[in-house]
Amino acid sequence: MMFRFLLPIGIFMLANAAAQYLQIKNELTLETPCNGVSTLPDGRLFILYARVDGSHGPTVLEWKNGKGVPYPNLEWNSYSTDMKLDPASHFVRINSIRNGPDGSLWIVDTGSPSFGADVILPEGPKLIKINTKTNKVSRIYPMGNVTRYNSLLDDVRFHDAAGKAYLTDAGSPALIVLDLASGDAIRVLENDVSTSASMPTSGEGVLMGNINGGLQYIYADQLEVSPDGKWFYYQPASGGMHKIETKYLNNAFYNSSLAGILSQYVVPHALTPSTGGTAIDAEGNIYDSDTDRQAIMKIAPNGTMTTLIRDSRLLWVDAMWIDSKKRLWMPAAQLNRGEPFNKGKNHIKPPLHVYSMDIGVGPSPIDHA
* 4 has a pLDDT exceeding 90: no
Q: How confident is the model at residue 22 (pLDDT cuts 50, 70, 90)?
A: confident
Query: What value does the mean pLDDT take over residues 140-154?
Result: 98
Chain centroid offset of residue 59 CA: 15
- pLDDT of res. 129: 99
Give the separation between CA 286 and CA 223, rounded to whole angstroms.
10
> Which residue from 338, 198, 210 is spatially nearest to 276, judged by alpha carbons?
338
Between the alpha carbon of residue 303 and those of residues 31, 241, 245, 300, 329, the distances in Å are: 37, 9, 15, 5, 22
pLDDT at 316 over 50: yes
The helix/strand/coil state of 20 is coil
Average pLDDT over residues 288-312: 98
- Mean pLDDT of the chain, nearest integer: 94
Residue 63 has a pLDDT of: 98
**Across residues 50-65, what is the average pLDDT?**
95
Q: Residue 369's pLDDT is what?
A: 82
Domain spans in the chain, listed from the N-terminal domain onward? 9-358
What pLDDT score was predicted for residue 18? 41
Q: Which one-letter amino acid corresponds to residue 166? A: Y
228 pLDDT tier (thresholds 50, 70, 90) = very high
Residues 6+ apart with CB under 8 A from 60: 46, 47, 48, 70, 71, 76, 77, 91, 94, 97, 107
Give per-residue pLDDT as tens, 83-129. Answer: 999 999 999 999 999 999 999 999 999 999 999 999 999 999 999 99
CA atoms within 13 A on the CB side of 170: 29
The string of DSSP codes covering 199-221 is S--EETTEE-B-TTSSB----EE
What percent of the chain shows pLDDT beyond 90?
A: 93
**Rounded (5°) CA angle 6-11-16:** 100
Q: What is the average per-residue pLDDT within 338-363?
A: 97
How much is the pTM?
0.94
19 pLDDT exceeds 70?
no
Is residue 360 pLDDT above 80, yes or no? Answer: yes
Q: Are 193 and 2 in contact (CB under 8 A)?
A: yes
What pLDDT score was predicted for residue 21?
63
Residue-wise pLDDT for 237-278, tens only, equals 999 999 999 999 999 999 999 999 999 999 999 999 999 999
Fill in the amino acid letter for 182: S
- E strands, 143-259, in order: 153-159, 164-169, 174-179, 185-188, 202-203, 206-207, 220-225, 231-236, 241-245
What would the mean pLDDT of 207-227 be, rounded to a whole number? 97
Predicted confidence band of residue 304 (pLDDT cuts 50, 70, 90): very high
CATH number of 9-358: 2.120.10.30
pLDDT for res 363: 98
Supply the pLDDT for residue 112. Answer: 97
pLDDT band at 8 (very low <50, low <70, confident <90, very high): very low
* Structural contact between residues 100 and 85, judged by C-beta atoms closer than 8 angstroms: no
Quote the distance between the C-alpha of residue 244 and its chain's center.
18
Which amino acid makes up residue 292?
D
In the chain, the amino acid numbered 337 is: R
